Structure 1
């Protein structure tokens, strides 16, 4: 009878705690990133074959995947797979871990939880900065968008952005006749061709960023008119050559040297070419576009045909050196038009920084020293954080996730946070075992159907335990009455 009382009391205690645990699951069924509690029961010691009741053996978190919900919010991110986000409390310096990815931008521009704790990750390195005037950020002077490309490999993430000042307003005629003279319109046309070439090379590089780096070469042709210069004597005489199917002709003007200088100037006005002539009548034609081939044929002075020699053959190049050559050619052309170029390359290892080196993530572009604008349109793509400003898209950070040998050993703190313990085991980088889904959150993994069924079972078990107590009490009363 006493055992019956004890068994009933243990049942009341165990099922009251089980009801509390399961009701917590149910009430958090809409909590972002919530992991439900799983209750395990165990029978208590036996004596002479009689059990002594029930006890709660453990209450463990169920870290199974919750469903994902598309929120449309730029800073929301869900973990699909194992792992936790790293959270730092700026007030205490404590580190916590969470699955809840409903983030926001704090007043200081950092990525934060809804209760103002800092989200940790890795920040990019400015691995390459090319600037015509020493500028270190995009400012209002750079009004011409050149390119923006995001590159992802197994080794690194990278964004390459380039802008220029308005070359159409600064370009003007310059140079010496016969020695690379360029008029304003030719300079503008050259720059536009070089921008196209740069974009093409950037696309080619992005398609195979790990290709062997090999420099480009620019085509050079020479035509020796020296033997036939005496044929240039009156206004009906001419010097000419065909470039990509278009005939370039200059009639005799003033004297032989003036005529040859004007001929070289006409060749320099062909898009992507520059030409010069020396006193002997040797015309040198250089391509301004690395790797681009030009068809040069049918050189003539009147009916005479001088020889054409390709002194340097064009080579497209490969890898990063190819891209560097395309950008350098564009930069030179812009500077020749009194314009400026700036190109920024930001890089983060795909595996992220070492966990000991991660820190807060700044989202404001001006604080990062990238642009004068404070904000860009933010997005998170598989953990990589991008800020778009106009047509430029900058890599500004990467979320890092960690996992533990025994996640059930983590200590729940409330507010969707967990604290590491010895029981949780070793902390490891989880980048390779999950997928981070932008503009989404992970829902609670509570199963409402099972939860409600368990609540009813625990309720009935609680009632049954109370019945065993009242029954045992009646037995005791009867025994006492018999003794009297």
Structure 2
């Protein structure tokens, strides 16, 4: 009888546990991602072939996918098949434990990471930290997107085998800063108008988009950088000799022409030759054609020479012809331009264009044709492939938007009289080193009368300053102006020109002192002067004290006319030794572009014998600004920024950061969150899409071996085994963004089970009462 009691009690215990489990299922009928548990009963040990009751062998989760509901909340995710989200409860001490869940009601935590409702951080493949190699910026001080970068160029996501990249490129609005190149400086040297720069950018934006799209279509293709076409044409110069004659060349079948540019005879730019009017006009006409070609979208044209820059000229049949061994040098020097050669450079990498029929027409209607370089000395366009094509398109676009920095010093800033000396100081930001390089010592410029000597001073020698100059810059003589150009579009630099102090002495010649030649003075608003005038005795015997630097300073005269006026003011505002107003017996004039001071003799002046043998003007040392009009960026004056983000799907699991400012993508933290079916997370801001992470799906060999610990969390056990992750979540459950998985508890089934377990409980209770009644009867028999 006692055995029957214990058997009934085991049944009561088993059915009670079953009731507890079913009540738990009913309680969680609305719990997101909940999986119902079921009880597995087993009979207990046997004695003489009679069992001793029942027990609960296992309470196991049933991991069958449940239905989903759309929530419209971007952070919500639902697993549509087997698998689990991994979450980590990282603490401030750095310790953490990983749990697993089916509940995808996620959110952005206060630290910017993707978290579940309990504050645990969702795990996955995190975006790799952005490095300098991932950023292409024309502004060394900007490496994240800001509000200034208001124009989206292109954005795309590139999927490779084990990693994913996103490319996003933007530019600033350059409409207000875009300006045409200064004609007086850049004629014949790839000059661009404001409109043509804008059109170039538009065309190169299309080219960049195409290159990015092609890379997306074939990310595994071999990489080949595109090559821009460079063609040369040559004119004989026999017919371009008078008004109404013209030069013409065809590009892709469209004619580009300029008429004869009439110019007066003059001295050559090197001062060695007298140019006839025809020669001066031909030089202007060749430059005008190059300028006209440059106005067209996608081209820059330059006057060139195929003689070596050291002066070695071609002879015989090589003159006025193209050979395979030719090397071409851009030049605006008179003797080079007169050769009649023009180089046409394509700005769009990989784009081929056809140059035909360069001709000159005297107006007779019978043109004389020149030649187009068809030898291997030209550069043939080569189409880019894959990443190489994208890099080529990007660099060409960045150059058009911003362009290489150019600092220009014209003759209005330089006093090349063969006497004045200068010093240059430079610094440049090196992107690879991530810092500004100060060149240290100055580069001294010796007195000269031409720009080429300055270039030689800047580029010749082995001093650290010169070596750094040659590393970062190119010095050019363009139409007699000194142009210092950065070698790359992403080099930011500072140049400072300092004029050394100088003394100009003009000896008396007849009745005047002529400050010309090496004593010529330049007035450009940047340099100040002092004049020294000795004491002088007038015809009436009175004396006027000497003028010294303290009273004879002329501050930054804008031009020689102002300089002259200031001098005459000084002369007029003197007093004699007796205190009466007087006037220095001198008069300043500008004659043939030079300052001339004339002696005034007679009643109000001074006897000729009283005048000094010479007059002295001192230049005060100081800085000289570059030419503001001609200096600036070679491109449209805007800024370009491309940022690449990378997701390495072979990296270790980590928390997923969502804030764009923390990720060093943008100075604005938030964007539009989205997740695709593979768990790939993108954040979109102002149209640009950034890959910032991928939620991983954990798989287990025995998912029923996971241990439920509450809060919708599960722990791995030795029975469940270690989780496995597939690259790109391949062959795992799809993830439905904006959805949540419903509870797996079936209310109808659970209510039925409650009645079944209740009946079983009552039946087991009845077996106990029956056994108890039998036991009572036996006890009464004994009595």
Deviation at 1:319, TM superposition (A): 0.8
Partner of 1:144: 151
Partner of 2:702: 406
Match of 2:341 among 256, 259, 282: 282
Match of 1:194 among 188, 204, 213: 204
CA distance in 1, matches of 2:754, 2:646: 52
Deviation at 1:423, TM superposition (A): 2.7
Partner of 1:393: 689
Post-superposition Cα deviations, 1:246-278, rounded to whole Å, max 9, x if no partner, equal 221111111111111111111111101111123
Partner of 2:52: 52
**1:296 pairs with 2:355:** yes
Measured at CA, do residues 150 and 84 of structure 1 come closer, stay the same or move farther in structure 2, by a change above 3 Å?
same
Post-superposition Cα deviations, 1:104-163, rounded to whole Å, max 9, x if no partner, equal 111222211112222223321226111112221111222221111112233211110111
Deviation at 1:352, TM superposition (A): 4.6
TM-score, L = length of structure 2:
0.59
Partner of 1:322: 389
> Equivalent residue of 2:345, what SS?
strand
**Contact 2:227/2:350 (8 A) holds in 1:** yes
Could you list the runs of 5+ residues in structure 1 that have no partner in the other structure? Answer: none
Residue range with higher mean Cα deviation, 469-478 or 136-145: 469-478
Deviation at 1:62, TM superposition (A): 1.6
Deviation at 1:378, TM superposition (A): 1.2
Matching of residues 204-353 of structure 1 within 5 Å: 204-225=214-235, 227=236, 229-254=237-262, 255-278=281-304, 279=337, 280-302=339-361, 303-309=367-373, 311-335=378-402, 336-349=635-648, 351-353=649-651
CA distance in 2, matches of 1:309, 1:464: 106
Partner of 1:177: 187
Residue range with higher mean Cα deviation, 71-80 or 395-404: 395-404
Deviation at 1:340, TM superposition (A): 1.4
Higher helix share: 1
CA RMSD of aligned residues (A): 1.8
CA distance in 1, matches of 2:373, 2:763: 104
Deviation at 1:70, TM superposition (A): 2.2
Matching of residues 447-458 of structure 1 within 5 Å: 447-458=746-757
> Equivalent residue of 1:412, what SS?
strand
Residue range with higher mean Cα deviation, 260-269 or 361-370: 361-370
Partner of 2:712: 416
CA distance in 1, matches of 2:287, 2:149: 36
Partner of 1:375: 670
CA distance in 1, matches of 2:688, 2:747: 46
**1:166 pairs with 2:173:** yes
CA distance in 2, matches of 1:312, 1:71: 59
Deviation at 1:193, TM superposition (A): 0.6
**Contact 2:647/2:692 (8 A) holds in 1:** no
Deviation at 1:360, TM superposition (A): 2.4
Partner of 2:139: 133
Matching of residues 4-153 of structure 1 within 5 Å: 4-91=4-91, 93-125=96-128, 126=130, 128-134=134-140, 135-153=142-160
- Higher RCO (C-alpha under 8 Å, 6+ residues apart): 1
Measured at CA, do residues 152 and 448 of structure 1 come closer, stay the same or move farther in structure 2, by a change above 3 Å?
farther
**Contact 2:234/2:358 (8 A) holds in 1:** no
CA distance in 2, matches of 1:24, 1:297: 87
TM-score, L = length of structure 1:
0.94
Partner of 2:656: 361
> Equivalent residue of 1:193, what SS?
helix
Deviation at 1:447, TM superposition (A): 3.1
**1:445 pairs with 2:741:** no
**1:432 pairs with 2:432:** no
- Figure out how many residues of one structure are paired with residues of the other and give that number: 478
Deviating above 6 A after TM superposition, structure 1's stretches of 4 or more consecutive aligned residues are: none
CA distance in 2, matches of 1:154, 1:40: 45
> Equivalent residue of 1:230, what SS?
coil
> Equivalent residue of 1:120, what SS?
strand
CA distance in 2, matches of 1:245, 1:221: 15
CA distance in 1, matches of 2:190, 2:751: 84
**Contact 2:162/2:650 (8 A) holds in 1:** no
CA distance in 2, matches of 1:252, 1:94: 83
**Contact 2:716/2:722 (8 A) holds in 1:** no
CA distance in 2, matches of 1:69, 1:433: 23
Deviation at 1:67, TM superposition (A): 2.2
CA distance in 2, matches of 1:390, 1:323: 22
Could you list the runs of 5+ residues in structure 2 that have no partner in the other structure? Answer: 263-280, 305-336, 362-366, 403-634
Post-superposition Cα deviations, 1:318-375, rounded to whole Å, max 9, x if no partner, equal 11011000000011111222221111100112x3522xxx332221112222111121
**Contact 2:706/2:715 (8 A) holds in 1:** yes
Post-superposition Cα deviations, 1:288-332, rounded to whole Å, max 9, x if no partner, equal 001112233333212222232352222221110110000000111
CA distance in 1, matches of 2:220, 2:647: 15
**Contact 2:703/2:720 (8 A) holds in 1:** yes
**Contact 1:160/1:345 (8 A) holds in 2:** yes
Residue range with higher mean Cα deviation, 179-188 or 381-390: 381-390
Residue range with higher mean Cα deviation, 80-89 or 362-371: 80-89
CA distance in 1, matches of 2:77, 2:357: 64
